[in-house]
Structure 1
Amino acid sequence: MIREFFAGVRFLGRGFGYWRTHTRLMSLGLIPAFIAWALLLAVFVPLLISLGPIIDGMTPFADGWTEPWRGLVRFGLGAVIVVAALALSAAVFTALTLTIGDPFYQRIWRGVERSLGEEPTGNTPFWTTVGEGLRLVVLGILIALLTLLIGFLPVVGGITASIIGILLNGRLLARELTGRAFDARGLTGISRSGMLRAGRARVIGFGVATQLCFLVPFGAIVTMPAAVAGSTLLAHDLLRRANTPSPQPSAPPPPEPPHA
């Protein structure tokens, strides 16, 4: 399980390798990523500035508590809100970036496909990209709400909420980013779900690594083209594993004839 998880992380590393071998192609993804990042920053910074009054308004019951309990409760709630906001931001950033920069990321995806010896013939229509983006945002909101609810658990709520939020959102990002390679091959949602489920640890490893890179200052801008490239490599790996027949157990040897 752990080995498969880090195998998924390596797909993002291989995606970053395209910055060295296909620099001009990867540079196409910087502009839409920067626009989406700037839009999210304009929302996230005011949230951080007003976080104190928001927490105070959510915890009036703690006004009469003595320190350090009042400070610990409010600090823990603030951490959960930030984690939930970051989880939602990753989903919204991916949806916005793929929608704004659809022509650029189509070219990156096609370039990676050709580097693997494939000649992609399918395409993801623009409105399909918009629909998938909206779906990603809705699911991101649900994950953020779940993270908030778990965060209210005593003692372990903050840590548990952070871990669950990162894992769920990582899988969500990986599913969205692998969509182009699957769309080009006309795969149905059931087929995709089966392949993603079969390679669950790799998918989560790739998605978690991508999300953590998004949290680095300016990291999301550079990571997004690499994530598109790496997700194409991951999709190829999932397709190969799905098309590789499982080894059949060898038949037992026939019984020896009884001795006269």
Structure 2
Amino acid sequence: MRAVRDFASGVGFFMQGVGWVARNGRWWLFGLIPAVIAFAVYVVALILLGRNASALAEFLTPFADSWAWREFFRTTVAIAIFLGGLALAVLTFAALTLTIGEPFYEKLSAKADVLEQADEQPWWRTLPRSIKDSLITLAYVLLFTVPLFFLGFIPVFGQTVVPVLGAAVSGFFLTIELTTLALERRGMARKERFALLRRNKAVALGFGVVVFLLFLVPLVAVIAMPAAVVGGALLVRQRLTSAPETP
């Protein structure tokens, strides 16, 4: 089945990225710098959220003051708030890391994806556009993931179908983030990038879902970030812009 082959191909591009950074250890270390910075930011933010989740749950549920089981209810809400923050951290880790490390990852991506003619611009000129594109992408992510978060409370459906849908949505938007640098070097604007990846959903999902699952493990997310950037560049070079587009 073609969709399955394309999905597996997408996974393969991430593995190519792993192989590339394994052969180029100096560039892997170079790409770790912004990932470590972003990881530290998220650790501090999640610690603060964890410490204040109970107070936030109490603030959000004044209607439960008279309930006999209010403590259980508010504990459940506090856990949901923290898990929501953790999910948001996973979804936005790539975007924040790419924004922080724009000059780092531009060099890393260009090293793995050498072009004779590239639409190169200084990073300080592209940074405002990158931030804007990342915020728009985040808005799309929230548009899908917020309803999925609440659907997750439905028995059975929430524990089976919703996680699969969530991984697919998150994976697709991670691919959008991780292919941005390589596609921008080819002069493609955000709408063109979105359209290209929609036409190649299966390979985009294969690449993004494996990255998303790895990013669920905090330290692995840091270690895998340079490989994900390189894998995104190789995906663009070898598949998205060198072969006929999937109808």
Per the normalisation by structure 2, the TM-score is 0.80
Q: What secondary structure sits across from 2:233 in the alignment?
A: helix
**What is the aligned partner in structure 2 of residue 186 from structure 1?**
187
Q: CA deviation at 1:178?
A: 0.7
Work out the percentage of aligned pairs sharing the same amino acid: 32
TM-aligned CA distance change 1:217 to 1:89, over 3 Å = closer
Aligned-pair Cα RMSD in Å? 3.0
TM-aligned CA distance change 1:102 to 1:189, over 3 Å = closer
Task: Give CA-to-partner distance per residue, 1:120-139, whole Å, 9 cap, x none.
Answer: 52136122122122223333
TM-aligned CA distance change 1:28 to 1:108, over 3 Å = same
Instruction: Name the aligned partner's letter for residue 171 of structure 1.
Output: F
Matches of 2:85 and 2:224, distance apart in 1: 19
Q: What secondary structure sits across from 2:241 in the alignment?
A: helix
Matches of 1:196 and 1:171, distance apart in 2: 8
Please state if 1:159 is matched with 2:160. yes
Q: CA deviation at 1:78?
A: 7.2
Instruction: Name the aligned partner's letter for residue 119 of structure 1.
Output: E
TM-aligned CA distance change 1:141 to 1:40, over 3 Å = farther
TM-aligned CA distance change 1:84 to 1:234, over 3 Å = farther
**What is the aligned partner in structure 1 of residue 119 from structure 2?**
122
Instruction: Judging by fraction of residues, say which structure has more helix.
Output: 2
Instruction: Name the aligned partner's letter for residue 101 of structure 1.
Output: G
Larger Rg: 1
**What is the aligned partner in structure 1 of residue 94 from structure 2?**
94
Q: CA deviation at 1:15?
A: 0.6
TM-aligned CA distance change 1:80 to 1:143, over 3 Å = farther
Matches of 1:21 and 1:194, distance apart in 2: 33
**What is the aligned partner in structure 1 of residue 29 from structure 2?**
27
Q: Which runs of 5+ in 1 are unaligned?
A: 247-260
Q: CA deviation at 1:194?
A: 3.5
Instruction: Name the aligned partner's letter for residue 3 of structure 1.
Output: R
Please state if 1:202 is matched with 2:203. yes
Q: CA deviation at 1:198?
A: 2.6
TM-aligned CA distance change 1:137 to 1:198, over 3 Å = closer
Q: CA deviation at 1:87?
A: 3.3
Decide whether the 8 Å contact of 2:53 with 2:78 is kept in 1.
yes
Please state if 1:240 is matched with 2:237. no
TM-aligned CA distance change 1:39 to 1:149, over 3 Å = same
Decide whether the 8 Å contact of 2:22 with 2:28 is kept in 1.
no
Decide whether the 8 Å contact of 2:14 with 2:232 is kept in 1.
yes
Matches of 1:242 and 1:168, distance apart in 2: 24
Q: Which runs of 5+ in 2 are unaligned?
A: none
Per the normalisation by structure 1, the TM-score is 0.77
